[in-house]
């Protein structure tokens, strides 16, 4: 589809600087801009590219001050990144939608499905499953018995949703993710070094408007439910253990792991490779920096870094000292040498 700068500015409530009739039919990164494409500038680190980009139209924020003239038509908006995201969302919605049920799909007679179901090749839907309207199940998705899936949810190829689990409306689950695998529970038998598997009889409950990346594993609860709240966004390669609870609108970034029965509050950020031990509580609004190892509960809006993790301000002070350790070691060795010489001379 082709759009003019005027159409885009009208949609975004933006202001045009340049040719209102300029047309685009694709998008590009500003540093790789091509004629006929739309780009955006949100991070000032890339500002130098706006003076040389070949993109026809560039979205910029209202407060951007240009050092020299640009060739592209500019559309000024309140927030360039947010505006670009809105356009991409519009573009995504305009793309043709997958429809119909493949003859290679297997749907149990007891399952109930809503309107406009898309089920690709080799989709399996088990007994007593309840699926809402406008749900998309891409090829090789497995939906176990007694699963519930809300309206407008999209599940990409190879996802496994095991028995009894519940997924809300408007969710997106990316390829290869497993929801409802057994929690890691083993009991050490008396008078024996062997471990006996503890049956995991709970489920996973996922709220509305949740997005889960690829190859994520969310374990079912031993009893009760592992819970992912409304609006949670999860990156790829994440492990969520049994009976964990993630509060509404929290963000979990790649390779993070949360051990069993830990409760994560609302609006929490778990950065990449963060690890949380089991049976702790993370307060609302806390931020756990990348590669942090958290072994104790955190208060609301705490910001921690390190392994073991502690307050980020104290960590930065400690880091400043850590960087000086080689010089401090040299000074200490020199003092020891001087003291020894003084003792030898007495």
- Apex CA 308: angle with CA 307 and CA 312, to 5°? 80
pLDDT at 1: 75
> Which residue, among 265, 185, 167, 262, has the nearest Cα to 223 in the 3D structure?
185
The runs of H, that is alpha helices, within the chain are: 5-12, 80-94, 312-345
Sign, CA dihedral 201-218-138-166, equals positive
pLDDT at 62: 96
Annotated active-site residue 242? The verdict is yes
pLDDT at 177: 98
pTM of the model: 0.87
pLDDT at 48: 95
* Tokens 């699963």 found at: 147
pLDDT at 216: 98
pLDDT at 209: 98
Residues near 214 by beta carbon (within 8 Å), at least 6 away in sequence: 156, 174, 175, 176, 177, 236, 237
Contact 110, 126 (CB under 8 A): no
Residues near 336 by beta carbon (within 8 Å), at least 6 away in sequence: none
Catalytic residue from among 130, 174, 242, 296: 242
Contact 285, 265 (CB under 8 A): yes
pLDDT at 146: 98
Token couple for 299: 């208060």
pLDDT at 92: 81
pLDDT at 193: 81
- How far, in Å, CA of 325 to CA of 73, rounded? 53
pLDDT at 345: 87
How buried is 109 (Cβ within 10 angstroms: 0-12 exposed, 13-18 middle, 19+ buried)?
A: exposed
Please count the other Cβ atoms lying within 10 Å of the Cβ belonging to residue 323: 9
Residues of the chain with pLDDT under 70: none
């Amino acid at each position: 589809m082709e759009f003019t700068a005027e159409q885009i500015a009208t949609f975004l409530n933006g202001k045009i600087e340049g040719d209102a009739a300029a047309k685009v039919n694709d998008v590009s990164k500003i540093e790789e801009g091509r004629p006929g494409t739309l780009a955006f500038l949100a991070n000032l680190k890339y500002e130098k590219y706006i003076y040389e980009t070949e993109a026809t139209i560039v979205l910029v924020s209202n407060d951007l001050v240009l050092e020299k003239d640009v060739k592209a038509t500019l559309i000024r908006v309140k927030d360039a990144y947010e505006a670009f995201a809105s356009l991409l969302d519009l573009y995504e919605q305009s793309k043709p939608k997958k429809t119909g049920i493949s003859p290679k799909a297997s749907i149990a007679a007891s399952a109930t499905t809503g309107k406009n179901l898309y089920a690709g090749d080799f989709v399996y839907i088990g007994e007593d499953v309840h699926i809402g309207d406008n749900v998309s199940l891409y090829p090789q998705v497995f939906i176990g018995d007694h699963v519930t899936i809300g309206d407008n949810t999209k599940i990409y190829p190879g996802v496994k949703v095991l028995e009894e689990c519940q997924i809300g409306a408007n969710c997106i689950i990316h390829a290869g993710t497993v929801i409802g695998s057994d929690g890691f529970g083993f009991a050490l038998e008396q008078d024996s070094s062997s471990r006996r598997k503890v049956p995991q009889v709970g489920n996973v409950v996922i709220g509305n408007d949740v997005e889960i990346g690829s190859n994520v594993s969310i374990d079912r609860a031993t009893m009760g439910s592992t819970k992912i709240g409304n609006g949670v966004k999860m990156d790829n390669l994440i492990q969520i253990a049994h009976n964990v609870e993630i509060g509404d609108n929290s963000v979990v970034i790649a390779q993070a792991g949360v051990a069993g029965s830990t409760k994560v509050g609302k609006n929490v950020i778990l950065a990449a490779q963060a690890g949380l031990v089991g049976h702790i509580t993370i307060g609302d609004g806390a931020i756990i920096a990348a590669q942090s190892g958290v072994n104790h509960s955190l208060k609301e809006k705490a910001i921690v870094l390190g392994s073991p993790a502690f307050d980020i301000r104290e960590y930065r002070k400690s880091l400043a000292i850590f960087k000086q350790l080689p010089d401090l070691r040299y000074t200490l060795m020199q003092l020891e040498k001087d003291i020894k010489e003084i003792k030898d001379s007495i």
